[in-house]
Amino acid sequence: MNTQTGSKTKAQVWVVENGKMRSRLDQLTTEEPLEIRLALFQKTVAVTMRTPGADFELAAGFLYSEGVVNSREDIRRISYCVDKLVDGEQRHNIVNVELRDGLIPDLQPLERHFYTSSACGVCGKASLEALRLRGCPVIPSGTIVTPEIIYSLPDKLRAAQGIFTATGGLHAAATFNTQGQLLNLHEDVGRHTALDKLIGTALLSDELPLNNCIVLVSGRSSFEILQKSTTAGVPIVCSVSAPSSLAVSVAKEFGITLIGFLRGERFNVYTGYNYTNLHLMLIRKKDCVPSHIY
């Protein structure tokens, strides 16, 4: 029997160790669908698998990343759906978003998101051309950060992951300043939904664009991670694993420094030619010519 409590679900497991079996309670990461609706159109624009928590931020971040809203003022209200047929009970897996009066967004690009898995986002259906057509600007250069700051980020991310510590089954996305101070963090069963929550929090707090921040995600950097980071104006994106080829293309076109395989005192720089300060500091420290792998 599983018992759910928000972002964690208790489950009975049988542990097999050294030829013996024992029963104990374990905690699993909760995974449930979230339906995002635009109230004016009474239209579902996405159904995404996520870990419950920060649902309003997730919806705001998703709509911002997709170009439905461009500022905090475009969102008048976010609320959970109320089922009038069941004594006015709130349905916490459905979020209604009310846009400001007069805002009529183009909803056609959202059709590819009708069902979004927690594992792979849009599953390759999105394209670099969509970002070009939206007119996303190249992110300004000038961000300076030392290798030592980059090295320190994964340990800070892991130390702040409370739900991961309990379940061992969550991704995370976090923002840091250029001194390596953790600014915000969200956990979720999916990397891209964790990043939606992070961007949505910044949007609702009027903190966009994130031009002076570093974003670190657990796992790999996919197209969707870079797409969302581009719309939020993030100059440096780091991950503990590899980027995809399309992620590198997005980073290169929009001026993002993309760092992968960030483990211990080592990382790869895949793009970032606009950020010569980062490269110069690396070269000065190692007193050698630039290399693909640092």
- Write out the catalytic residue numbers: 120
Is the preceding omega at residue 33 within 30 degrees of 0, hence cis?
no
The bridge status of strand 214-217 relative to strand 236-239 is parallel
Query: Angle 254-259-261 (CA atoms, 0-180°, nearest 5)?
Result: 150
Q: Please count the other Cβ atoms lying within 10 Å of the Cβ belonging to residue 135.
A: 7
What is the Cα–Cα distance from 84 to 101, expressed in whole angstroms?
Answer: 25
The answer for residues whose C-beta is within 8 angstroms of residue 101's C-beta and 6 or more apart is 76
Sign of CA dihedral 25, 28, 30, 31: negative
Strand order through the sheet with 20-29:
3-5, 8-17, 20-29
| Residue 224: Cβ within 10 Å count | 26
Distances (CA, A) of 140 to 69, 179, 195, 214, 254: 22, 19, 21, 14, 9
Helices (H), 135-206: 147-159, 162-167, 191-204
